[in-house]
A and B are shown apart, each in its own frame.
Chain A
């Protein structure tokens, strides 16, 4: 065999050695399912495509869990994984689904709002494909997703994303970001179909409040906060003051900017009767100047570079050697969400939502997140949903 011919075959072998194992890892990640054990409070499970038929049979369709109380009352929609690389919201909603019981009113929970993004990853940023949460019965494995939907589900991206219906020019990549595509349209790009279906859900189910769980960098000013539009600012302020006074953690209020379009906390309020809130918990993993993007950093939030920046007052949250653990972030989401619902009930007593058995901040920090997850292997098969 001549030398060029030999080199060609060696290169082909190297190419296959690179593509096949790497491709298999990515394929397995996209098709990895997370079992959700529906707790005693879950009364029925639907699909987002029930409200937007254009999503039926696509990777953008996602499970919608209903937790209906025995007494009538208000309705709240809880959405997590709008950005699937911010896992505290997902863990908080799953913890609520597996443990919570609604006594009055209804909770509607969508744990994987951008389902396509939860099956996407960011290898260029060194994202881990999975992370494990330790539990009493073993470890529970979760997919680590990405901020934007997978291009396998919506492609190509435009040069500039023109928001519908406000016509604001946004970054091209935001066409796959379900926190820029609100209120959406039924015949738009797939992520606009996702947000449009959610808008239909809000309108048809007559939902009173919507809570969108997120995480934000410690170096980003809109972090550790409740973002609310004008009509929700009083409830948000009271919730922020109450958690500070009663539970001892900060979550300040940020106004939803009227000139920045496509975000849940803006468009839900402008295009429906629902009052939206967006909760941000700090996530050091997403900060740029950190060490390697490991599972450990994702879960404990400890990073020496951020610690150094904190000493120079470059962060927007207090940051110590203890980091910013997943327990703190999940606990904050649980407490703030419960407090927003309680404050809403004080304002509209006829639309009260009463929930029990959802742990608050101190309990989650003390017991750990995994304490609240149930073994899918030991649960009745008809109560386990793959998501």
Chain B
């Protein structure tokens, strides 16, 4: 795997962590919670090497 690809996977993992943290700490706004999860979908699929 080229170095640039590894870096992009690390960026994806960081964003996944950020989104999960934001989702978990969102207390009131339901719309934000839905948006965090929607953004999470492609990142999770990429990290798991599915799509």
A interface, CB within 8 angstroms of B:
4, 7-8, 11-12, 14-15, 18-19, 23, 26-27, 30, 123, 151-152, 154-156
The residues of A that contact B46 with a CB separation of less than 8 Å are 151-152
Q: In the bound complex, how far is the Cα of B44 from the Cα of A27, in angstroms? A: 13
Chief secondary structure at chain B's binding surface: helix
The residues of A that contact B44 with a CB separation of less than 8 Å are 19
User: A27 is contacted by which of B8, B28, B30, B50 (Cβ under 8 Å)?
Assistant: B50
Chief secondary structure at chain A's binding surface: helix
Instruction: Tell me the number of A-to-B contacts counted with CB atoms below 8 Å.
Output: 41
Please, which residue of chain A has its CB at the minimum distance from the CB of B41?
A19
Please, which residue of chain B has its CB at the minimum distance from the CB of A151?
B46
Assign chain B's interface to a size class: 20 to 34
User: B5 is contacted by which of A7, A14, A156 (Cβ under 8 Å)?
Assistant: A156
Q: Within the complex, what minimum Cβ distance (angstroms) separates A133 from chain B?
A: 26
The residues of A that contact B5 with a CB separation of less than 8 Å are 154-156
User: A155 is contacted by which of B8, B27, B34, B41 (Cβ under 8 Å)?
Assistant: B8
The residues of A that contact B13 with a CB separation of less than 8 Å are none
Residue interface bits B13-36, CB-to-A below 8 A is 1, else 0: 000000000011011101001100
Please, which residue of chain A has its CB at the minimum distance from the CB of B40?
A15
B33-51 with Cβ < 8 A to chain A: 33-34, 37, 40-41, 44-46, 48-51
**Is the pair A18, B41 in contact by a Cβ cutoff of 8 Å?**
yes
The residues of B that contact A4 with a CB separation of less than 8 Å are 27-28, 30
Q: Within the complex, what minimum Cβ distance (angstroms) separates A120 from chain B?
A: 8
From known contacts A23-B50, A26-B51, A27-B50, infer whether A156 and B8 are also in contact, taking CB-CB under 8 Å.
Answer: yes
The residues of A that contact B24 with a CB separation of less than 8 Å are 8
The residues of B that contact A152 with a CB separation of less than 8 Å are 46, 49, 51
Q: In the bound complex, how far is the Cα of B43 from the Cα of A23, in angstroms? A: 12
**Is the pair B51, A11 in contact by a Cβ cutoff of 8 Å?**
no
Those 10 A-B pairs whose CB atoms lie nearest each other, nearest first: A15-B37, A23-B50, A26-B51, A156-B8, A27-B50, A26-B50, A155-B5, A4-B27, A152-B49, A11-B33
